[in-house]
């Protein structure tokens, strides 16, 4: 069955929780499968280290991604080099696949503006913290690609909470009207901070919202990396080389779970039961893929240990590089928003600098 013809409440799956094949395995060779696994292991290790850095006061507030590696890595791996990725604020793993270094991600959460600037040859938009504000931007970029006669597809990431925002509806509706080469990738991780999925909509699924915009919608097991890859690949191919019958845009709902907090400023124990978390941990995407690859003879203990060692070294090097850079100056809080700083903000910036000069860096930061 064509993935776009499935019932909205019938998620696409390739691997079950034990790594057993239950669907059509996508056409990936051994090196690609190992690379998917390597990215997922690296993202998980990075996530643990990043949370630790924040707890030690070495980094600002950070949004953990553990549990969402399959959705991020599987989808980003399906994009072509010239395609564009439009992230929210949790796509550290997807960004790594697309060419955003771990060092740059760390710099962003450490307050360096350099962390928010992709290299010139990397097609990734800046991080979007406001909920759903990036959706219309993604539609506009895709429309521009279409008008220019380019082949680039624009993949936009957002959470289930974003589907309650006006920007989501406006962006996806525009994409439907103008038939833009978009893939809208909804990370339905069950909670928008403390608001559960069922408080977002009366719709049975988020995927079926595509119906209102005249585009395709599909639900996928977001903790199955092979299923995510297959669905995203199909959506990207349709957006790039449209079917005469089907629309270019696709809304993908990847059903998944974030194991940790919404951010390190959040306490999920206030609104989530431990039993719920443990139930979802049994669906962990990394052991699932590992079990499949071991069964196929692609992975063994030695290769897994080697990948883990490489991931630890890569993350450690990124942390050393990021922490070796000078901390941002307080005045940078006021930069990068206006071409010319308004008088009131200029006054506040001067006052902040005066406080620093009067009390010294240590006392100033303590205040």
| Catalytically active residues, by annotation | 258, 262, 271
Q: What is the DSSP letter of 12?
A: B
Tell me how far apart the alpha carbons of residues 201 and 199 are, in angstroms, rounded to a whole number: 6
The count of other CB atoms within 10 Å of the CB of residue 268 is 17
In 3-state terms, what secondary structure has residue 332?
helix
Phi, psi of 324 (to 5 degrees): -80, -15
Nearest CA among 206, 152, 187, 149 for reference residue 63: 187
Nearest CA among 121, 127, 69, 125 for reference residue 99: 121
Q: Cα-atom radius of gyration of the chain, to the nearest Å?
A: 21
The shares of helix, strand and coil residues in the chain, as percent rounded to the nearest 5, are 50, 10, 40
Q: Which two tokens stand for residue 228?
A: 């995510």
Angle at 38 between CA 325 and CA 71, to 5 degrees: 95
């Amino acid at each position: 069955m064509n993935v776009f013809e499935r019932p909205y409440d019938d998620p696409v799956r390739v691997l079950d929780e034990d790594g057993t094949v239950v669907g059509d395995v996508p056409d990936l060779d051994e090196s690609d499968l190992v690379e998917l696994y390597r990215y997922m292991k690296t993202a998980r290790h990075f996530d643990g280290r990043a949370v630790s850095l924040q707890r030690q006061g070495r980094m600002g507030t950070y949004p953990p991604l553990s549990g969402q590696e399959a959705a991020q890595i599987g989808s980003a791996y399906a994009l072509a080099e010239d395609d564009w990725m439009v992230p929210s604020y949790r796509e550290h793993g997807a960004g790594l696949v697309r060419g955003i270094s771990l060092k740059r991600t760390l710099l962003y959460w450490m307050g360096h503006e350099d962390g928010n600037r992709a290299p010139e040859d990397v097609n990734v938009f800046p991080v979007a913290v406001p909920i759903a504000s990036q959706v219309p931007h993604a539609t506009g970029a895709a429309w521009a690609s279409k008008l220019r006669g380019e082949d680039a597809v624009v993949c936009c990431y957002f959470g289930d909470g974003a589907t309650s925002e006006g920007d989501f509806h406006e962006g996806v509706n525009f994409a439907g009207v103008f038939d833009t080469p978009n893939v809208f990738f909804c990370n339905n991780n069950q909670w928008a901070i403390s608001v559960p999925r069922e408080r977002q909509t009366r719709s049975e699924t988020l995927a079926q919202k595509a119906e209102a915009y005249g585009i395709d919608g599909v639900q996928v097991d977001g903790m199955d990396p092979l299923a995510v890859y297959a669905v995203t690949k199909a959506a990207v191919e349709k957006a790039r080389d449209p079917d005469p019958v089907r629309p270019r845009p696709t809304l993908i709902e990847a059903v998944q779970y974030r194991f940790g907090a919404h951010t390190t400023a959040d306490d999920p124990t206030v609104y989530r039961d431990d039993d719920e978390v443990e139930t979802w941990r049994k669906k962990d995407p990394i052991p699932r893929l590992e079990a499949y690859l071991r069964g196929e003879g692609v992975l063994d203990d030695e290769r897994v240990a080697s990948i883990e060692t490489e991931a630890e070294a890569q993350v450690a090097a990124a942390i050393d590089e990021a922490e070796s850079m000078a901390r941002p100056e307080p005045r940078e809080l006021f930069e990068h928003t206006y071409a010319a700083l308004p008088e009131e903000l200029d006054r506040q910036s001067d006052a902040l600098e005066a406080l620093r000069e009067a009390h010294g860096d240590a006392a100033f930061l303590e205040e």
